[in-house]
Structure 1
Amino acid sequence: MNAQILHFPVQQDVISPADATAHSEILSAAWDASMEAVQVFVQENGDNREHGGACVVFEDPDSAFVRLLMIKGIGEHTKTGEWRISLLQGLPYKSRRAYVAGCDAFVKELELRDISARVDSFAKAKECL
């Protein structure tokens, strides 16, 4: 019998161990900055603002940082092909501005490391695009 093994191209979310470690540290620092920013905002302004939320959007879903997020199961693809994370879900706050403050801090921390992202916010009963 002359059997052949066929190889099919498989798209994998591969990231090197060094990149995984470095980007995990970046994620942790950005997450900490985000949580601190939300707490400071609520302490200074209260939670009585317009209800809603915010998320962080990455235009390049093929970047090493986004691949790490995918591997960790953080976020989802948008309809436009970008990657979106709602990193503050589960917090007891209702103010859209509190969530924007947290997402802004997250994005600023990423920008310090040349990782591009933006903040999208939404009003109550809607979600990030």
Structure 2
Amino acid sequence: MPCHIVKAEPLYHGLKPAKHGFCVHELLGHAEKENPATFGIWSIDAGNPITYNKLPYHGFVAVTEGELLVEDLDEKTEPVTMHAGDLLHVTVGTSLRWHTPTKCKGVYVHLKALGDSVFVDNLE
């Protein structure tokens, strides 16, 4: 069984914004029909919040640096502040908004096929 290692830290420096200073880059994954999964890195600069309406799959996020304010738009809750080491699980169909007061970065797992652009295509 092969093992794949990617040195992620240097890749943060070359990230291109997908929307409003939010950068995301897929690193590893597969497109198996029954259990698709994608692992990647992200960063966000201070500025406009990012919104995603009705995430079509489960997502898992870890903050590795800085702080991220996350708001569940379906529950109409106050934003929750995530810090380095905090984890987030977003269930299928959830709408959310996120931003940072400074700069923040982290990693994610999306239960979607590697190369499927649905996440980036639907950022607001």
Give the TM-score band, short-chain normalised.
under 0.3
Q: Which protein is bigger by CA-based radius of gyration?
A: 1
TM-score (norm 1): 0.26
TM-score (norm 2): 0.27
Q: Would you tell me which structure has more helix in proportion to its own residues?
A: 1
